[in-house]
């Protein structure tokens, strides 16, 4: 996946939307190292509400209809969140894009990152996703939920920060 900006190769046609959007944010000469995958577990809450709605359709029809509508709204919200959420790692910085209506893009250079933490809620441990918490200088904390490959992402980011620190200490 190590692509530099401006590469129109045949494999570009098979790349997912999140990687295409991440590539569009690259600067000249910057290389995309990894784009975190957003886990399908983002849909679990809407699925649970839908199962409750099915039960309520039998016992209390109007309430069941209401919960069916609520689960539909939750499903659309989860789909849009999955579409717009990006956690990308380049050779120079970390790029995070969050939000649906208010789209926020945060770019942190490696020398501005203080810590990277992985938080797994109980359902995340069961389904296999985690939240990546990145703390930058100036108390900037950014949380990226539903990351499928959180440990691998953190490991690669830690290694890139370590390599950069080693280069700067040798100079």
Q: Which two tokens mark 31? A: 């290389």
User: Quick one: pLDDT at residue 8?
Assistant: 39
| More confident call, 68 vs 29 | 68
Tell whether the torsion through CA atoms of 100, 104, 108 and 114 is positive or negative.
Answer: negative
- Which of the given ranges, 45-49, 136-140, 162-166, has the highest pLDDT on average? 45-49
- Rounded distance between C-alpha atoms, residue 75 and residue 70, angstroms: 9
For 29-53, how does the pLDDT look when each residue is reduced to its tens digit (9 = 90+)? Answer: 889 999 999 999 999 999 999 999 9
| More confident call, 149 vs 17 | 149
Beta bridge pairs of residue 160: none
Average pLDDT in the chain = 86
Q: How confident is the model at residue 170 (pLDDT cuts 50, 70, 90)?
A: confident
Lowest-confidence range among 18-27, 42-51, 154-163? 18-27
| More confident call, 12 vs 51 | 51
User: Quick one: pLDDT at residue 63?
Assistant: 96
3-state secondary structure 61-109: HHHHHHHHHHHHHHHHHHHHHHHHCEEEEECCEEEEEECCCCCEEEEEE
Q: How confident is the model at residue 56 (pLDDT cuts 50, 70, 90)?
A: very high
> What ranges do the domains of the chain cover?
16-38+88-170, 43-78
* Cα dist from 96 to 5, 25, 65, 106, whole Å: 18, 11, 37, 5
Rama region for 126: left / alpha / beta (φ>0; ψ in -120 to 50; rest): alpha
How large a percentage of the chain has pLDDT more than 90? 56
- Residue 129 phi, psi (nearest 5): -130, 170
| Range 145-155 burial, b when 16+ CB lie within 10 A, else e | bbbbbbeebbe
Mean pLDDT of the 3-25 span: 57
- Rounded distance between C-alpha atoms, residue 86 and residue 32, angstroms: 13
> What CATH number does the domain located at 16-38+88-170 have?
2.30.29
For 72-122, how does the pLDDT look when each residue is reduced to its tens digit (9 = 90+)? Answer: 999 999 999 999 999 999 988 999 999 899 989 889 998 888 889 999 999
- Residue 36 phi, psi (nearest 5): -65, 140
Q: How confident is the model at residue 16 (pLDDT cuts 50, 70, 90)?
A: low
Q: How far apart are the first and last CA of the chain?
A: 29
């Amino acid at each position: 996946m190590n692509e530099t900006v401006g590469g129109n190769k045949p494999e570009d046609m098979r790349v997912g939307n999140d990687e295409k959007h991440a590539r569009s944010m690259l600067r000249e000469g910057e290389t995309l190292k990894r784009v975190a995958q957003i886990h399908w577990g983002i849909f679990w809450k809407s699925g649970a509400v839908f199962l409750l709605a099915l039960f309520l359709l039998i016992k209390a029809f109007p309430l069941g209809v209401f919960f069916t509508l609520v689960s539909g709204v939750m499903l659309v919200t989860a789909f849009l969140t999955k579409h717009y959420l990006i956690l990308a790692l380049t050779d120079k910085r970390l790029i995070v894009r969050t939000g649906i209506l208010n789209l926020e893009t945060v770019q942190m250079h490696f020398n501005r990152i203080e810590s990277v933490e992985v938080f797994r809620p109980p359902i995340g441990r069961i389904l296999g996703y985690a939240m990546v918490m990145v703390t930058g200088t100036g108390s900037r904390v950014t949380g990226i939920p539903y990351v499928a490959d959180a440990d691998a992402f953190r490991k690669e980011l830690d290694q890139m920060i370590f390599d950069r620190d080693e280069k700067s200490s040798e100079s």
